[in-house]
Structure 1
Amino acid sequence: MKQNQVWFVTGASKGFGFEITKAALKAGHKVVATVRSNPGRLSSQFNSKDLFVVVLDVTKEGQVKDGVKQAIDQFGRIDVLVNNAGFGLLGAIEEISDSEAKRQFDTNVFGLLNVTRAVLPFMRKERLGHIINISSVLGYATLFPGLAIYSATKFAVEGISEGLSLELEPFGISVTAVAPGLFRTDFTSSDSYQNAEAELEAYKDTVGLRRVAVKDLHGNQPGDPAKLASVVVQIASGDHPPRHLPIGRDSVAAIRAKYNSTAKEVDEWEELSSSTDHAVVA
C-alpha cells in the first residue's frame, strides 16, 4: 500500500471532495484542497498541518496554474489528483440555454482539463501518479429525462479518462474514472445543482416530474459519501487501480443493465449494421 502521498482535491469544501480530503488525511497523507472561497473555514474544520487549502476556480486557467504551483511549493509534489469539482444541471435540452450548457461544460469538462494539464508536467517528471476523475453513473446511461446535458459532461469525463489512461501509461501514471450512483451529499444544494431557467409546459410530465423527484430524493439517497471516500483512498493506495470503477450498488446495476441493453441492440441490428463494407473483389 502506498503511503505518505500528496493529494490534490478540487471542490473540497463539501460533498465528495470534503469526504475524500478527510479520508486521505486520516490515512496519513498530505492534502492540497481547493475551494472557491472562504479557505479558513475548511482549514479550521480539520486543523491539520498536513492540509493546505488553495483558493481557485477550475474554470480559470490562470488560477489553476497558480494553485498547482502553490501546492508544489508547499509539499514538493503531487501524487494523486482528484478532479471532483462540478455541479448538476436539470432541464430538457430545449429548455437549457446556450450559456447554461456552456457553463455546465466549462466546469465539469474544461475545468477538469485545466487542472489535469496543470498537474501533468509534475507527475511526468516524477514518472508516477494517479488521476482520479469523479464521473457518474450518468456517464454511462442517461437514466432520466432532463439530465442529458449533465450526462453528456460525464460521458466526456469517461472518454477523457480512458484516452488519458492510454497516453499516460508509459509514464507510470494511472487514471481512474469513478462513477458514483446516488449518494447522500448536498448535491441538490443551490451551489451544486441548478434547474434551467426556462421551464416549458410541454415537459411538465417528464422533466417537470424529475424536478419534483430531485427535491424528494434529497437526504434519501442510498450511498454513504464517507464510504465512497474510503474506496477512493483504497484504490489510490494500490498498485493496479481500475480504469473505470462504478461505486454503489445502484451504479453497478445500472451500468450492467446498459451494457446488456446495448449488446442486445447490437445483436438485433447486426446484419444491417454490417452491410456497409465494400464488396470483396476477387
Structure 2
Amino acid sequence: MTTNNVWFVTGASKGLGLTLVRQLLAAGYAVAATSRRLADLQQAVSADTARFLPLQMDLGSAESVREAIEATISTLGGLNVVVNNAGYGLVGGLEELTDQDARQNFDVNVFGLLHVLRAATPHLRQQRAGQVFNISSIGGFTGNFPGFGIYCGTKFAVAGITESYAAEMKDFNVHATVVYPGYFRTEFLSAGSLGTPQNPIAAYQSIRDSQVAHEQQINGNQPGDPVKAAQVLMQISEAESPPVHLFLGEDAYQLAAQKIAAVQQDLRQWQAVASATSFPVEA
C-alpha cells in the first residue's frame, strides 16, 4: 500500500465487492463499504477497526449517495479509489421482459453508478488525483448471450460511460477503468442476484437453455477466483498508468478475442461498400 489508501466500494455485502473489502482491510487500506441492508454488511465483514466504515446506501437516491460519500471523507479522512460494483443480473428475452424489468436493471446498474460518480467526482477533481473502477462484465463487451440483452445493455452503458469519464478526467489526473470480469465464483448467478422473466415464452428454447446453464451448471463452477480478482484491482490502483479497459479472467480474454475477430471480419467484408458513402471530392 502506498498512497491510494481510502476506498469506497458499493455492493459490498456479497460477491466480488465483499471479497474486495476483505482483501483491502487485510492489506491495511481504509474502506467505506456500502449496501442496501447495513445488517448484511456488518454480518459479512466483522472488522473491528477504525479503518472500516460500513454504510447503508440507497443507490436510487442521489441524496443517500451524496451522504455516503461525505461520511467517507469526513470519517476516513479522504477518498482515493471508488469502486462502482453494485449491480444485479437479469436473464430473459427482450420480448419476455417488461419495461419495468428493464428500467429497474438500468436504475441500479447504470443510474446508480452515475449517482456515485456525480457525488465523488468533485472531490477527486479538486484534489487532482484518484482512481475509479466501474465494474462492467464481459457481457458489457460482447452481447452474444441469448437472454441477456437488457443486462448486457446496462453493462455496455457502463463501458461507454467509463470511456468518456476517463477522457473528461484526464486533465485532472483522475484515472477511470472499466472492468470486464468473466465468470467468477460468487453469488452472482444465485436467485438473489439474478432476475428472471415472470412470463417466459416457450418458443425461446435458446434462452431457456442459457438460463438453465447459468443457474444450474455454471453457478458454483465458475473458473475465476474473486480473491485474485480483488488483488488485481489493488495492484492497478497503485499503478502509474492504469488501463482504461481491464479484462478479468482467461475466459474474458477469450470472449473478447472472439468479439474483436467478428468485428474485424464484418469490417473487411463490408468496407468497400460501407465506406463509399462520402460526398464526391470536388476537383
> Which bin holds the TM-score, normalised by the shorter protein?
over 0.9
- Alpha-carbon RMSD across the aligned residues, in angstroms, is 1.3
Per-residue deviation at 1:28?
Answer: 1.3
> Given residue 212 of structure 1, which amino acid in structure 2 is its aligned partner?
V
Decide which moves more: 4-13 or 41-50.
Answer: 41-50
- Alignment match, 1:262: 263
SS in 2 for 1:207: helix
Residue-by-residue CA offset, 1:111-148 (whole Å, 9 max, x unaligned): 00000110011111111000001111111111320001
Question: Which residue in the other structure is 1:178 paired with?
Answer: 179
C-alpha spacing 1:215/1:264, structure 2 compared with 1 (3 Å): same
Paired residue for 2:20? 20
Q: Are the equivalent residues in 2 in contact too, given 1:36–1:56 (CA < 8 A)?
A: yes
Aligned residues: 281
> What is the CA–CA distance in structure 1 between the aligned matches of 2:36 and 2:43, rounded to whole Å?
11
Q: Identify the residue that residue 250 of structure 2 maps to in structure 1.
A: 249
CA distance in 2, matches of 1:260, 1:11: 34
Q: Normalising by structure 1, what TM-score?
A: 0.96
Letter in 1 for 2:12: A
Contact 1:34 1:56 (8 Å CA) reproduced: yes
Q: Which residue of 1 aligns with 2:141?
A: 140
Cα 1:272/1:44, change in 2 over 3 Å: closer
Alignment-derived partner of residue 94 in structure 1:
95
Give me the whole-angstrom Cα distance separating, in 2, the residues matched to 1:239 and 1:245.
15
- Quote how far apart the aligned CAs of 1:191 are: 2.7
- Does residue 212 in structure 1 map to residue 184 in structure 2? no
**Secondary structure of 1:187's aligned partner:** coil
Gaps in structure 2 of 5+ consecutive residues: none
TM-score of the pair, normalised by structure 2: 0.96
Corresponding residue for residue 8 of structure 2: 8
1:167-224, Cα deviation, whole Å (9 max, x unpaired): 0010010001110000100002233111021201111x11111111112211001001
Is 2:190–2:219's contact at 8 Å kept on the other side of the alignment?
no
Residues 4, 28 of structure 1: 8 Å contact kept = no
The alpha-carbon distance between structure 1 residues 20 and 44, as it changes in their structure 2 partners (threshold 3 A), is closer
Share of identical aligned residues, percent? 39
Match runs of 1:186-197 below 5 Å? 186-197=187-198
Moved runs in structure 1, 4+ residues, more than 6 A? none
Q: 1:42 to 1:31 in 2, by over 3 A?
A: farther
User: For residue 109 of structure 1, what is the aligned residue in structure 2?
Assistant: 110
5+ residue gaps in structure 1? none
Is the 2:13–2:44 contact (alpha carbons within 8 Å) kept by the matching residues of 1?
Answer: no
